[in-house]
Amino acid sequence: MLALLLLLSAESPAMAETLRGMVKAVHDGDTVVLVGRGTGRVTLRLYGVDAPETRKPDKPGQPFGSQAKRVLMFKVLGKEVTAEVQDRDQYGRAVGVLLLAGRDINAEMVSEGMAWAYRQFLHGPYASRYIQLEEQARRQRRGFWRDSNPQPPWEFRRGQKRRR
């Protein structure tokens, strides 16, 4: 019984991995590259948020995709950050909450209308906060909420897959 309890507690979110490093690159509005002593180079997908898609050489982007990337770059590029890893995604990326001097950067992106609360993958204590921030950004018409009906990135990606 004790062994089972130890195994379960080792997998609990309270035991989440914490990464520290400098942001060396920003791929888009929800993905950065950290480089740190002991951690090496880590691609981090921001947990619980989904930013508009940026244009790629072989794929179109969404309105506000490049702005979301620039906002995230301005906030964190070249700065020392902490990431509280919540999970790993299908591509092997760490998925976590990005913190800069105690500020929740994921929450800021949602609050500024630069990312949606990604309800499909949002759980626990962050869920209600990020959803509340998204609703507030929508009411105040911040960022992409200035558009009458912005398309969430997951719908945009689904539409792109159908076109191929």
Active site residues: 45, 53, 93
Q: Which two tokens stand for residue 36?
A: 């740190």
Q: Residue 159 has which token pair?
A: 């539409």
Distance CA 139, CA 27 (A): 28
- One DSSP character per residue, 52-94 reads PPPPBTTB---TTHHHHHHHHHHHHTT-EEEEEEEEE-TTS-E
- Dihedral angle, C-alpha 108, 30, 117, 82, nearest 10 °: -60
CA distance 50 to 25: 18
Distance CA 92, CA 89 (A): 5
